[in-house]
Structure 1
Amino acid sequence: MSPRPTAPEPPHTTPSQLPLRFGYGTNGLADLRLDDALALLADLGYDGVGLTLDHMHLDPLAPDLASRTRKVAQRLAELGLTATVETGARYVLDPRRKHGPSLLDPDAGDRARRVALLIRAVRVAADLGAHAVHCFSGTLPAGTDEDTAWKRLAESLAPVLDAATATGIPLAVEPEPGHLLGTLDGFHRLRRELGDPEALGLTLDIGHCQCLEPLSPADCVREAAPWLRHVQIEDMRRGVHEHLPFGDGEIDFPPVLEALAATGYQGLTVVELPRHSHAGPEHAERSLPFLRGAAAPASPRPDGPVPPPAAPVAPPGEPSAAPEGRTP
């Protein structure tokens, strides 16, 4: 395994002066070959990529993973992109169960398969020089009480955190609507149960904050700041777990990005539109100018507020984006 490369911080620069760094998730570019997706993001001016390990993009279960990872690392370097490794592929372990098996599965062998995937993702992240590895808990299995599920989650993550500590790659757990760990309160419960290990961090999804957190998205950023290791971003409406293009939901983005910049966070802020791959290049092209405009000083702005991007029109024969609704 190659040592994790580090980039020196620019001299005479404080974290709060550094601009936010934007990426786009490959789970929203699933119809593109990985090399084409990376080239597109570099051409558009993104700083990095949220790389979901999946059968179409750096398959974590196919042969020669180490050599394939080296090639991706070289390509990222050539394009000037950084990465976060994401592990939310729907059917990478089980072709019949979405996100199955999970860290909460009643079968110990099935839980071990998810643990092995996450440890493999940590090693991939180290070889890519990635900022973090993202993961989530999974939904509460039928017939399992919550206390048992929390115990399984903590026990399952222990060896993953050991791998994260050994490689210097933080594990960034995401509160996911409908999952056992679904809120910031859930993250703090896990953190306490594990003894607050240094390698355990947080993936904060801005849309999820709008969907179900009692705090505003900007306040969620401020509350989560000490543990932020990865950020996902998209628009969303209150009470509906549906990832939306910017301008289609209810989030006021300038205060959110101002709060994020004030924390000094320097990982990637990754656009997360997994149901929009049919128009992925168009959404990627529209998203970056929107985010840069929203991250600019809010006042004074002679050109007024940041307008929402124009909604892309699906080419003939392409499906429209299926809403996620209230299911995880």
Structure 2
Amino acid sequence: MSVAFGAHSYAWMWSMPARPCLERLQALGFDEFELITMPGHLWPTEMSGAQRVSLRDWVEGEGATLRTLNHPGTDLNLASPVPEVRAYSVQILAQVLALAADLRCPAVVVVTGRVNPLLPAPLEHHRQWVLDALRALVPVAEDLGVRLALENIPLGPLPRARDLLDAVAWLNSPAVAVCWDAANAHFCGEDPAEGLREVAPWLEVVHLSDTDRSSWRHDVIGTGAVDFASVLQAARDVGHARKPLLELCIRNPEEGHRASLSRLAALETTERLQRE
């Protein structure tokens, strides 16, 4: 029996390739997935055409759904002051978009850059750099039929809902959407539920994990301060039909996913009893 949430492969990226990871997640009850792109786990230049078809056919044959691909913003920086770094980031993300198309995955989550935490360039410069880089990716995404889901990231120049919406409006393409991350929003001091409602018309995927505001984490549900009841209610209210995805960045992923599912189930049971 499938669970009411999807899952991200982030926590397995250093320990196993994508397919055995999906099998682990499937055994936990998940049937909707986001895959991290990382060498050794899932990487465009490591996958032949036949390997891409094999993974795609396996996912579809299992009745599962590959919702999104996602490259973490550790090596790439669309908001870099250095033009060559931005160009390289665009090049790699174009390869990830092509991989998504081959896997019949409808969207790629895009980390919207990083700024220097000690002495950043003026914010308007970082925002224009990331917008220009995204503008280079839009025609690639349009041609491939894959959406760019811009994510709210605390370290980047577009950390809040309004920043993402400004970018969506500026890019003005049906290939541009939003990935809303509840933990990132909370860490930034934004109400995750209010932000979700704000980005709802462009919402591609919702990421769930826990954190507080003293340190940025993507931890097990119930170990931080995120108000998941309000986030899930907001997702229902705006009619977001897809399953929210657990994105846990932890060392004991199977235990953490089980615990998170248990706490979310208890939360939904409590809410249902209160409504009745």
> TM exceeds 0.5?
yes
What displacement does 1:81 show? 1.9
What CA deviation, in whole Å up to 9, does each residue of 1:66-103 have, x standing for no partner?
3322221122113222123333336xxxxxxxx23411
**How far apart, in 2, do the equivalents of 1:185 and 1:160 lie?**
21
Corresponding position: 1:285 with 2:261: no
Match of 2:124 in 1: 147
Summarize the Cα distance change of 1:60–1:184 in structure 2 as closer, same or farther, 3 Å threshold: same
**How far apart, in 2, do the equivalents of 1:202 and 1:43 lie?**
29
What displacement does 1:218 show? 2.0
Residues 131, 267 of structure 1: 8 Å contact kept? no
**How far apart, in 2, do the equivalents of 1:292 and 1:125 lie?**
31
Summarize the Cα distance change of 1:177–1:20 in structure 2 as closer, same or farther, 3 Å threshold: farther
Corresponding position: 1:208 with 2:188: no
**Which residue identity does 1:201 align to in structure 2?**
A
**How far apart, in 2, do the equivalents of 1:63 and 1:32 lie?**
15
What displacement does 1:236 show? 1.5
Corresponding position: 1:299 with 2:275: no
What displacement does 1:32 show? 3.0
SS in 2 for 1:105: coil
Corresponding position: 1:118 with 2:93: yes
Match of 2:62 in 1: 79
What displacement does 1:145 show? 2.7
Higher RCO structure, 1 or 2 (CA under 8 Å, sep 6+): 1
Summarize the Cα distance change of 1:220–1:295 in structure 2 as closer, same or farther, 3 Å threshold: farther
**Which residue identity does 1:283 align to in structure 2?**
G
SS in 2 for 1:130: coil
Match of 2:110 in 1: 135
**How far apart, in 2, do the equivalents of 1:151 and 1:252 lie?**
33
Residues 21, 48 of structure 1: 8 Å contact kept? no
Aligned residues with identical type, % of pairs: 23
**How far apart, in 2, do the equivalents of 1:161 and 1:68 lie?**
26
What CA deviation, in whole Å up to 9, does each residue of 1:22-71 have, x standing for no partner?
2221111232332221111112211211101101212123362x332222
State TM-score, norm by structure 2.
Answer: 0.88
Superposed counterparts of 1:176-215, under 5 Å: 176-194=153-171, 196-214=172-190
**Which residue identity does 1:147 align to in structure 2?**
E
Q: List gaps (5 residues or longer) in structure 1.
A: 1-18, 91-98, 303-328
Superposed counterparts of 1:1-328, under 5 Å: 22-30=5-13, 31-62=15-46, 64=48, 66-89=49-72, 99-141=74-116, 144-194=121-171, 196-214=172-190, 216-274=191-249, 276=250, 278-296=251-269, 298-300=271-273
Q: Which protein is bigger by CA-based radius of gyration?
A: 1
**How far apart, in 2, do the equivalents of 1:268 and 1:166 lie?**
27
SS in 2 for 1:119: helix
Residues 17, 42 of structure 2: 8 Å contact kept? no
Summarize the Cα distance change of 1:89–1:211 in structure 2 as closer, same or farther, 3 Å threshold: closer
**How far apart, in 2, do the equivalents of 1:223 and 1:84 lie?**
22
**How far apart, in 1, do the equivalents of 2:95 and 2:263 lie?**
35
Q: List gaps (5 residues or longer) in structure 2.
A: none
CA RMSD of aligned residues (A): 2.6
Q: How many residues align?
A: 272
Deviation beyond 4 Å, 4+ runs, structure 1 = none
Summarize the Cα distance change of 1:242–1:27 in structure 2 as closer, same or farther, 3 Å threshold: same
**How far apart, in 2, do the equivalents of 1:228 and 1:44 lie?**
26
Give the structure with the higher percent helix: 2
**How far apart, in 2, do the equivalents of 1:139 and 1:73 lie?**
32
Match of 1:12 in 2: none
State TM-score, norm by structure 1.
Answer: 0.75
What CA deviation, in whole Å up to 9, does each residue of 1:179-219 have, x standing for no partner?
1111112212322332x3222111100112222243x3222
Residues 234, 273 of structure 1: 8 Å contact kept? yes
**Which residue identity does 1:190 align to in structure 2?**
A
**Which residue identity does 1:149 align to in structure 2?**
H
